[in-house]
Chains A and B, each alone.
Chain A
Amino acid sequence: MRKSFVSFWRKNRAAAKLAILSQLEYRLNFFIDAYFQPLITTTVEVTLWYGIWSQGDFTTLNGFGLDSYLSYALWATFVARVTTNWMYESMMAEDIESGKINAILLRPYSFYSFYLSQFMGYKTFVMLGTLGIPLAAAYLFDLPVTFSRLPLVFVLLFFYLIFVHTVSFFVASFGFFMTRVHSLTTGKNIVLWVLSGELFPLDLIPDPYRQWAIASPFASGAYVPVAYMTGRVEVDAVWRAFVSVAVGLLVMGGAAMMMWSGGVRRYAGTGA
């Protein structure tokens, strides 16, 4: 039992390391992706909210002041960058479409785990590497953030990453049945952009849609962690988010397994 766990751990660690090393291969690209881009995105988001606020005829919006929205925009951009999956989903789909998947199918390692470890490894690396940006901005501009809430937020984010990867695995499995699945990835990410709360805080949505949006597992991709950090919601919302993501994981896991096994059965080994 212990031996099998050690071997499992080593395999996953190696895949995570591989992801980090391959991303570091092109340093300028990595620098832009990990630092420059989030910095610009954050600046754009914060400025947009500041603009709306400074020119609008309101002092509070839905009960929250300017500081709360600036803090939300700052952290939502950072969190959503971590929880969005473009690159690894495209790589999985590409592997299936082109037939590169053969090499992975022959290994004593599942396709799902191979990419999950890479995804988690890279995202952890980026998350820890870029955490300084929102922290410094929150400190400099004295924005409302409860730092003691960060550990629970990170646990929720890690849990959510497994869910996001499962969704990506589900989408990539369409590659067995369709020639191109890139549009599905784009469509999925646009939907998540809104449903996660990256675009605007989900509590601004009128009822009853607000309750549905917040209860969905996708809200853990930005809204719940950021709202908890910035004081818009309390810890009970985080516990509900854990349950929601767990249910989402079960549902999406089941659907992904069905798609995958159906796809592998019809796969001829020469690219889908």
Chain B
Amino acid sequence: MIRVEHLVKAYPGQAVDGGGARLPAALRDVSLSVGRGEFLAVVGRSGSGKTTLLNILGGLDRGWTGKVEVGGQDLASLRDRDLSLLRNRTMGFVFQAFHLLPHLTVQENVTLPAWFGPTDRDRADADLRAREALQRVGLLHRAPDRPTHLSAGERQRVAVARALLNRPRILLCDEPTGNLDGATGSAVLDIFLELNRRDGTTLVIATHEPRVSEAAGRVIVLRDGRIAEGTE
């Protein structure tokens, strides 16, 4: 499903090996593969490169070297149009900060990916799919509310519902429970596990929380942009 070979990502002011006075690259020669339906946890301390790796896998970050394939497509060779379509159809994102749009209702936030589909059919049954997704995360009753009226756990569940709207095969989650208390975080984790087990959704979750990594099928540890532990 996902294949990464010798991935290197250096931001301005960074060098691949951190030579001289320059900082080491955010990702250095990372190689890994994630199979269909696998649940991979990427752990590491802050600044280890977890978020960068997820952004690259999701096609949000460019300017790297190496090879990244998602669903058999080489991300480096995709044009913006195809990459956007891949994000819209194949992937779902869940962020630590939720990133719900406050001027939209919960229902409208969840239907957002449908607005950017390439055809009007994408929006035709978007409301129905949104209600299904909200039902799945247990928030159907909050559909007409604004995100500002929701708790942090509810917001993150809405973000998960948004990620699920187009029934993606891959879910990329960046510290999804980072802003949640223990019980709420567990509830969100349960949703991920259900998605992974019942629907076969491939999960790649960046986290530093042990309970998440413990629930994952496989764990890799990033340290200073390199895979320090785990299976490549």
Partners in one complex: no
Interface residues of A (CB under 8 A from B): none
Interface residues of B (CB under 8 A from A): none
